[in-house]
Amino acid sequence: MAKKNNTLFVCSSCGYESSGWLGRCPGCSEWNTLVEERVATATPPSQKPSRGGWTGDDAVVSLEDVRSGEEPRFSSGLPELDRVLGGGFVTGSLVLVGGDPGIGKSTLLLQVSHLARAKGEVLYISGEESRSQIRMRAERLGIATSHITLSTQTSFEAAASILAARKPALCIVDSVQTMYSEEITSAPGSVSQVREVTAGLLRLAKSLQITIVLVGHVTKDGAIAGPRVLEHMVDTVLSFEGESSGAFRMLRAIKNRFGAAGELAFFEMTGDGLTEVRNASSLLLADRPMNVPGTAVTAALEGTRPILLEIQALLTPSGYSAPQRLCQGLDRGRVGMLLAVLEKKFSSGINNFDAYVNVVGGVKLTETACDLAILTAVFSSLRDIPVRPGTLVLGEVGLTGEIRPVSQIGRRLTEAARFGFTSCILPGGNKAGLERTRENTVGMPERIYVDTVFEATDILFAPSRKGNTK
């Protein structure tokens, strides 16, 4: 080739590399995420490999001879965050906190700097805000602690020597996009820079036994490398979600080498920073409309904790040949499948309606255990009949309209009982297991088992139907 190739196109979402620009990344199928980057040549070949994570010692030992034991941990000072982390921060681990800009990552980590039971100094390295800005935020949050030290260094090599000299117990790096390594020629925030910086921080965390929390912005715009390319390198990935216009925030463990992934914690953004929400169900169901069509309540399991969620649906006659299907917090494909089941089984004429389906509170729902609740909310809006009052709906819906069993039903029912639900529609497949394990049924909702969507709708809409026939 005539042209000398010293640039490469790298996907800012998944890290896929290509010699030419492509509109769609073959690695992750995202559009417009490939950005041009210079090939890094400044690193001398004698240096340690930078992308393979940290280099441990050379000794090879038998697995039998390795001493097992709990990793030393310390509390973040926020019990909900500790739960998501699997029991607090592990000493010498690298935690990545990702989220949209403005969601509250810096606020959360400044609060953690203050509250964490780290035995020693907490170093806050900020490339985003000046020292006085951080001080102002700390004053607003009522934080004035002498154990927090600040640095606005953005060079990785300089930050590394600060860490080696001070050996803090906890270090916050805000954010990975502002840090750069002098070894690499591309701009801060580029894929090769964020990868290099993260690999360097991982080596430091392991070798100096410092817990490092790394902030990473996620942007839809592919110009800035998102933390997605870093997920495989770090020990723990926490994702901070929610609508920045609302007060509700969710912190989810996407990956955790030291605990269960999928754990979820709720926070509320107030004038005094973030406060933990222990009882998420009551907040999510607080202003629930009663006795109106188009709403159903289900119990989702996020990690180990059940939460009650309201699903709302609105169906309106469509003016388009291809009706609209809009979902918030739900997988569009899954909702499409449930609408197809509804059409096939009830000949409901649903293709003449636009459908809007929503999980209240900005929560993202991925569990199939909530299928029947989605179907119920849609059916309720379509027929304009409210769902039987005080009833929780659980079950996965199959393509033939059968209701399939869901996992951990006992915990979901206990949460329903706490919130005064008097009855629950459950998959027939769960009956044997549930009746065997739960002798004590006092205070539990009445359990109604169903095997098909027909049985479910007959029970859920029966009383109102009678009322509606004049």
Contact set with ligand TYD (CB under 6 A): 99, 101-107, 137, 140-141, 269, 271-273
With respect to Mg ion, which residue has the nearer C-beta, 106 or 181?
106
The DSSP line for 272-318 is TEEEEES-HHHHHTTTPPPS-TTEEEEEEEETTEEEEEEEEEEEEE-
With respect to Mg ion, which residue has the nearer C-beta, 241 or 310?
241
The owner of tokens 């629930």 is: 288
Binding mask 52-91 for Mg ion (x = CB under 5 A): ----------------------------------------
Least distance from ligand TYD to the Cβ atom of residue 96, Å = 13
What does DSSP assign to residue 31? Answer: B
Least distance from ligand TYD to the Cβ atom of residue 129, Å = 8
Least distance from ligand TYD to the Cβ atom of residue 172, Å = 11
Largest CA distance in the chain: 86
**Residue 441 phi, psi (nearest 5):** -105, 5
End-to-end Cα spacing for the chain: 81
Least distance from ligand TYD to the Cβ atom of residue 110, Å = 8
Q: Which does 143 bind (CB under 5 to 8 A by kind): Mg ion, ligand TYD, none?
A: none
Q: Which does 103 bind (CB under 5 to 8 A by kind): Mg ion, ligand TYD, none?
A: ligand TYD
With respect to ligand TYD, which residue has the nearer C-beta, 106 or 192?
106
What are 398's two structure tokens?
């199959």
What is the distance between the alpha carbons of residues 452 and 449, in angstroms, rounded to a whole number? 10
178 binds Mg ion (CB under 5 A): no
106 binds Mg ion (CB under 5 A): yes
Least distance from ligand TYD to the Cβ atom of residue 398, Å = 41
The owner of tokens 């180990």 is: 304
With respect to ligand TYD, which residue has the nearer C-beta, 143 or 448?
143
Q: How many CB atoms lie within 10 A of CB 4?
A: 6
The interface with Mg ion within residues 310-339 (CB under 5 A) comprises none
Q: Which does 386 bind (CB under 5 to 8 A by kind): ligand TYD, Mg ion, none?
A: none
Cα 334 off chain centre by: 19
With respect to ligand TYD, which residue has the nearer C-beta, 8 or 112?
112
What does DSSP assign to residue 180? Answer: B
With respect to ligand TYD, which residue has the nearer C-beta, 37 or 241?
241
The owner of tokens 């906190």 is: 97
What are 287's two structure tokens?
């202003």
What does DSSP assign to residue 262? Answer: T
Site residues, Mg ion (CB under 5 A): 106
